[in-house]
Chains A and B, each alone.
Chain A
C-alpha cells in the first residue's frame, strides 16, 4: 500500500491542480464502447492508494481532463484501473492511447463506499450498466474480508448481454467466494438463457434480510431512483443505502463549482452519498 504523496510545486502549498504522469500498462476493450486502462505512476514514489468509490481526474495530453471512477482493487495500488465509455472528445482520445504512452492523473478525490459499515450485515449491490465499474473496488474489499459480512448479493443489469462488464471476473467470484450474482438484461439476444427485465425487478426476491442490510447502488440516475424505491419497499433502512452520483467536473477539488448538485459538491461531498443526504433532490428536474 502506498501512502498518498503530494506533488510539491514552486508555490507555497502542494498544488492539487498538477497532474502526475502515469504510464499505460494495458488497454482492454470491455464492450463495443467501453474500455479499461491499466496504469502505473512513472515515479513510483508518487503512487497512492485509494478508497472504493473514489475517482481520479484523467488527463490526455493536450486534449483535456475527465473524472473517472477508479475500478481496480485498492490492494493492487499503486496500479490503477479505470473503466470508461467513449462519450466525448477526451474519452475518444483516451481510447486511442496505447500501452507505453503517458497520461496525467490527479486524485484520488471524493467520498467512498463505507464498506466498513456493512460488517455483520447482508450486503446488496445493485449495478446498472457501467455502474459496476465504481462498485468493483467495493466488491474486492468485501471479498478480501469475506468473513466480516453475511450474505453478499450482486444484482447486475445491462442493456444486452454484450454490454456486460467483467464477465470472467463475475464467474470467478461466483465460484470462489460466497457471493450470489444475478444478472439481467433489458434486451435479450435469442441465445440468452438468463433473466430479462430491468434490474429493479430482481430486488423483491433477492436473498437478503432487509432489516439487517447494507446496500450500494450505482448506475443511471433513473435506475438508482427506482432501485432505492424497491429497496425501501422491501424494508432496507434509508440510511444504509448508498448511491454514486455524477456531474460535470472541471477541477475535482471543490473550486470550479461545476459539480454542484443541490447543496452538495459531487467531487467532495460525493460521488458516494448516503441516500438520506440527497433524498430531497434525487429525481427533481434540472437541479
Chain B
C-alpha cells in the first residue's frame, strides 16, 4: 500500500492493474464516471462502468476535416487526443427543460424544475486543454452578475481526473494557447501514462484533497525522480510535436483592425455555416430558448438548447438579421473566439484543441485563417487599392 499521508502536490505511481480500483473508488462514492470510449468510429465521452470501456490500444489521426481511428501495437489507454465530444455536454446539457408553467383561468403558475438529484460526475480522462475550457466556461456561468444554477450544481459536484497527453494530435495547438499539454491546475488528480520495459503504470499528481482521498483507497507508491523525469520527457516531446501553431501575439488588436480583411471573403467561399465547429468547440456556450405549449394551451414549458452563431436568425431583430451573410457569421465566430472573448472574459476563448479543424467538413483551419490575416494585416487587396473614395 502506501507510506505516509498524501498531500496536494504529491506525485505517486499507480500500476495499470490498480487503475480499475481507482475508477471503482469513484463509483462507490456515488460518482457517475464518464470518459472516453469507442463508439461509431470515434472516441466519445460516455458512461464508463470499468476501465475495460476505455479505448485501449487505439489512437486517432486528425487533420483538416479528417478523423480516423487506428489500432496501436500496445494497450495504452489514453494514446489519443480529443474527439467530437467535449465535457460541455455534461456541464451544459444540449437540451434542458428550464421550467414548466400551468395556466388556470386568468392565472399562471411557474413550476420550477424539480431536478432529479444533480448528477455527480467524475470526468475520467480530461486533457489539459479541456481543463482550461472548463475554467473558461466557469467564467461565463459562475463569475458574472448572474449565476447559472444548474451549471453551478453540476460543477460543484464534479471530480476531475485529468490525463496529460502522451502525444500531440494533428490539429492540436494547446502549446500556442498556453493551455497544455501539461495539466497544471483545476484537477483533482492528473495522470501521465507511462510504459517502460513492459511495465504499464501511471504517474498520478494530487491536485486536491478530494483527489488525495480517492487515491488513498488505491494501491500506490511514492513517485521517484526517474518516474517524474520520464513523464516530463513525454510532455516535452508532446509540446514539440504539436500539429498546428497559432501566433497569438497581439491577436486581439490584429482582428479588431481587420474587420474588412479580404480573408473573410476567402473563407466565405468555403464555409458552409454548418455550425459543426460551434458544436464541437469546448468553450462555445451559445444557447437558445424555446417556449412550447401542449394542445390544450394550459401547460407551457421553456426549453434551453445549444445554438450557434452560424445560424441565420441568431442575430435576428425586427426586420432582419444583423449578420445576414455567412461572411459576417464566420467573422463573428472567429473574432469572438480569438479577440472579443479576451475583452469579455479576460482570456482567449480558444484552448487549441483543434476540434473545429477536425470536424469542419471542408477543413477550415482557424490557425491558417488567423495566419492569413496576420500576413497581410490591414493591407487591402489590389482591387481595393485602385478604388477611389466615394
Check whether chain A touches chain B (CB < 8 angstroms).
yes
Q: Is the interface of B mostly helix, strand, loop or mixed?
A: mixed
Interface 0/1 of A221-264, CB less than 8 Å to B: 00000000000000000000000001110110111111010110
Interface 0/1 of B308-327, CB less than 8 Å to A: 01000011111100111101
A166 within 8 A of B: no
B: number of interface residues (CB 8 Å): 60
B292-341 at interface with A (beta carbon < 8 Å): 292-293, 297, 300, 302, 304, 307, 309, 314-319, 322-325, 327-328, 331-332, 336, 339-340
| Min distance, Cβ B366 to any Cβ of chain A, angstroms | 18
| A50 CB contacts on chain B under 8 angstroms | none
Q: Is the interface of A mostly helix, strand, loop or mixed?
A: loop
B67 within 8 A of A: no
Assembly CA distance A246 to B316 (angstroms): 11
What residue of chain A has the Cβ atom nearest to residue B112's Cβ? A9
B202-236 at interface with A (beta carbon < 8 Å): none
A: number of interface residues (CB 8 Å): 50
Say whether B106 contacts A250, CB under 8 Å.
no
What residue of chain A has the Cβ atom nearest to residue B102's Cβ? A61
Assembly CA distance A166 to B241 (angstroms): 68
B90-117 at interface with A (beta carbon < 8 Å): 98-99, 101, 103, 106-110, 112-115
A138 within 8 A of B: no
| Min distance, Cβ B327 to any Cβ of chain A, angstroms | 8
| B314 CB contacts on chain A under 8 angstroms | 248, 258
Contact A247 to B322, CB < 8 A, known contacts A11-B150, A104-B101, A255-B140: yes
Say whether B302 contacts A262, CB under 8 Å.
no
Say whether A18 contacts B317, CB under 8 Å.
no
Contact A280 to B325, CB < 8 A, known contacts A17-B99, A256-B289: no
Say whether B300 contacts A61, CB under 8 Å.
yes
Say whether A15 contacts B101, CB under 8 Å.
no
A63 within 8 A of B: yes
Q: Contacting B144 at CB < 8 Å: which of A19, A103, A254? A: A254
Contact A255 to B323, CB < 8 A, known contacts A102-B107, A248-B317: no
| Min distance, Cβ B56 to any Cβ of chain A, angstroms | 38
Say whether A63 contacts B291, CB under 8 Å.
yes
Assembly CA distance A181 to B364 (angstroms): 56
| A85 CB contacts on chain B under 8 angstroms | 318
Residue contacts A-B, CB under 8 angstroms, 24 given:
A9-B113, A10-B112, A11-B113, A11-B149, A11-B150, A15-B112, A17-B98, A18-B110, A20-B110, A61-B108, A62-B103, A85-B318, A248-B314, A248-B316, A248-B322, A253-B144, A253-B146, A254-B140, A255-B141, A286-B323, A286-B325, A286-B331, A287-B322, A287-B328
Which B residues lie at the A interface, using CB under 8 A? 98-99, 101, 103, 106-110, 112-115, 140-141, 144-150, 152-153, 156, 256, 259, 285-289, 291-293, 297, 300, 302, 304, 307, 309, 314-319, 322-325, 327-328, 331-332, 336, 339-340, 343-344
Which A residues lie at the B interface, using CB under 8 A? 9-21, 23, 42, 59, 61-65, 85, 87-88, 100-104, 246-248, 250-251, 253-258, 260, 262-263, 265, 268, 280, 284-287
